[in-house]
Amino acid sequence: SYRTSTLGRCGFLGGYRWGHCAVAEGACRLAPAGLGMMLWQGAVAFELWTPCKNKENLMSIRLVTVRDVVLGEGMPKVCVPVTARTHPELVAQAALASAAGPDLVEWRVDFFDEVTDPAAVLSALDALRRGLGEIPLVFTFRSAREGGRRELPEAEYVALIERASASGFVDVVDVELFTSEAAVRSVVASAHAHAVAAIVSSHDFAATPPAAELVARLRRAQELGADLPKLAVTPTSPRDVLALLEATWTMASTYAEVPIITMSMGGDGVITRLAGEVFGSALTFAAVGATSAPGQVDLETVARVLALIHANR
C-alpha cells in the first residue's frame, strides 16, 4: 500500500543533518515530497513512507520495524503474552510461545514475583532473549488500575521500564498513557535512545468511552511520541464494539502518523482482534496457553482468520 525512497542509514545523533533529512534526538522527519528516510540503530528501524494510491485511502504512516517484523503493513502482526510468576516458569512459557511461531512475544512483568528486584528482572530478560532467538520481545508492566496484577510508585515504574530499554534484551516497551506526561515522555525518550520502540497504551476494563474520546486518546499517545499508540476497552454491548471499530478507522484514515493497536476485550470484542487489517489496527494478541486479557483467542485460530481476511482483500 505504500512506497518509500530510502536515502540511507544513520544513528541517533542530536541535530545531525544528512542529505535532505534531519535527525534530532532520534526523531525522523519527512524529506521533501517523494523522499523518505530510514533511521536505523540496533534491531529497530523507524521508516518514513510516502503514500501511493490504495483502495482504503489510509494515512501515510511511519512503519515500525522490530528485528524482521514490520508493523503497519500487510496482515496485523500477532503477539503472544507470557505471564509466569517465577524465572523457571517464565523460561518454560517462553519456550512454548517461541515454538508456536508468533510475530512478537510480550513479557507481562507485573505477574513476576520478583518484579521489584532489578537483578532478577534483568536475569529473566537475559533468559527470555536467549530463549526467543530473533522473535521481538515486548516489555510490559500493566498497572492494577489498567487491569494488571499490581501497582508500583511512578518513579519505580519508570525506572523499571527504562532499565529494560537499556538492557539490550527488549525491542519494544509499553508505558501507560495515564501516567504523568513527564513520565511518559521520559520512558519514550529512553526507549528511543536505546533503539527500542515505545507503545503508549490506555486500557479500560470497565467500559468503552465514546468513539471521539477513543480517538482523542490515540492522538494523545501519538503526540507524546508513541511509535505504537495502543487502546483496549471493554464492551457492554455490541454498540461499544462498533464504537471501537469506528475510532480505529477514524484514527487510521484521518490522524495516524504511526501504526496503531486497538481491541475490544471479552467475547463480544473478539471480532476486533481479528479484523485489524480492515479497520487499521496493526497488532493483535493471541494465546499460547495462558491469556493476559479477556477475549484472547489461541494463536493458531487467529493466524488462520487473519490469513483468510488478508487473502480476500
Catalytic residues: 203, 230
The residue behind cell 501515510 is: 60
42 CA to centre of own chain: 18
Phi, psi (rounded to 5 degrees) for 175 = -130, 140
Per the CB < 8 A criterion, the answer to whether 244 and 272 are in contact is yes
The residue behind cell 542509514 is: 9
Query: At 212, which helix (H) or strand (E)?
Result: helix 211-223
User: Which residues make beta-bridge pairs with 200?
Assistant: 175, 229
Phi, psi (rounded to 5 degrees) for 69 = -105, 125
Spatial strand order of the sheet with 69-71 comes to 37-41, 44-48, 63-66, 69-71
Pairing of strands 137-140, 297-298: unpaired
